[in-house]
């Protein structure tokens, strides 16, 4: 089971300790929020004394920034790993969404930090996460453009339209991530399916009985 959280286990190499601290910080920041989280609590959860946290991570601000970066990188990596580039664009989108829902479900504190906390506590942090979100939006925009080219020789979608659409899609995904994690029995794949139906087919078509499917 590894060392029990909250109990001091002495003399570990720095890298290990640092990981423990970051884990504790992500959990505490995710659940309490940046301001409400105290360094005392983080240190206790990590099973170390407060000075050690400062020795390794320097300050609350730097610690939070480090958490944001770690979680952002992990999320991006998960999505990219999910969306295999050999697939068709719409299938890539579906797979990316599924990976996204899976990752956020498995890693709720990290998701809370990125989605809620970082954007609520001042420019430096918000900028950090905005960079990551922009990366995802760009990724999605690229997929939409690719899909358009695959489907029709001459797409009628202007660049600015695509940006708005990508914003809407990402926002919808973020919202569904919360919903899926809270609603009993909604799996990541299910959520991804719902969103693909919504995004790809549109409400109008859905009402006529049309459905998007992986093939």
Q: Does 122 bind DNA (CB under 7 A)?
A: no
The angle at the Cα of 111, spanning 109 to 114, to the nearest 5 degrees, equals: 115
CA dist 71 → 78, 114, 145, 182 (Å): 10, 7, 28, 21
Minimum distance, C-beta of residue 86 to its own copies, in the bound complex (Å)? 15
Phi, psi (rounded to 5 degrees) for 131: -55, -45
CA gyration radius, the chain: 20
Q: Assess contact for 157 and 141: CB atoms under 8 A.
A: no
Kindly state whether residue 191 participates in binding its own copies, applying the rule CB under 8 A. yes
- Quote the least distance from Cβ 3 to DNA, whole Å: 10
- Choosing among its own copies, DNA, none, which partner's interface includes residue 10 (Cβ < 5 to 8 Å by kind)? DNA
Residue 157: contacted member of DNA, its own copies, none (CB under 5 to 8 Å, by partner type): its own copies
Q: Which is nearer to DNA, 39 or 186 (CB)?
A: 39
Among 170, 184, 187, 188, binds its own copies (CB under 8 A): 170
- Start-to-end Cα distance in the chain: 42
What is the rounded CA–CA span in Å between residue 96 and residue 94?
A: 5
Residue span binding its own copies (CB under 8 A) among the ranges 3-11, 15-23, 31-39, 76-84: 31-39
In the chain, what's the furthest Cα-to-Cα distance? 65
197 forms part of the interface with its own copies (CB under 8 A):
yes
* CA-to-CA dists, residue 50 to 76, 79, 148, angstroms: 31, 35, 54
Binding map of DNA across residues 44-83, x = CB under 7 A, - = no contact: ----xxxxx-xx---xxx----------------------
Residue in 2, 119, 135, 188 binding its own copies, rule: CB under 8 A: 119
Q: Minimum CB separation from DNA for residue 36, in Å?
A: 7
Say if CB 114 and CB 78 are below 8 A apart. Answer: no
Contact criterion met (CB below 8 Å) for 29 and 129: no
**Least distance from its own copies to the Cβ atom of residue 66, Å:** 20
**For binding to its own copies (CB under 8 A), which residues are involved?**
33-36, 90-91, 94, 116-117, 119-122, 144, 147-148, 151-152, 155-157, 161, 164-165, 167-176, 178-179, 186, 191, 193-212, 214
């Amino acid at each position: 089971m590894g060392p029990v959280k909250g109990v001091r286990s002495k003399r570990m190499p720095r890298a290990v300790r640092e990981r423990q601290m970051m884990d504790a910080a992500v959990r505490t920041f995710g659940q309490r929020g940046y301001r409400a989280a105290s360094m005392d609590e983080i240190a206790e959860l990590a099973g170390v004394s407060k000075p050690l946290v400062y020795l390794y991570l320097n300050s609350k601000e730097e610690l939070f920034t480090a958490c944001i970066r770690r979680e952002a990188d992990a999320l991006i990596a998960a999505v990219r790993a999910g969306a295999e580039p050999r697939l068709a664009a719409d299938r890539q989108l579906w797979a990316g969404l599924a990976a996204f829902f899976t990752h956020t479900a498995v890693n709720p504190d990290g998701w809370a930090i990125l989605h809620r906390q970082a954007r609520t506590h001042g420019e430096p942090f918000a900028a950090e996460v905005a960079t990551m979100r922009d990366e995802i939006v760009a990724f999605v925009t690229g997929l939409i453009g690719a899909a358009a080219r695959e489907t029709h020789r001459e797409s009628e979608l202007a660049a600015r339209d695509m940006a708005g659409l990508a914003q809407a899609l990402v926002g919808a995904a973020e919202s569904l991530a919360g919903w899926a994690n809270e609603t009993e029995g909604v799996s990541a794949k299910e959520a991804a399916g719902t969103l693909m139906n919504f995004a790809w087919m549109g409400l109008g078509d859905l009402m006529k009985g049309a459905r998007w499917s992986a093939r």
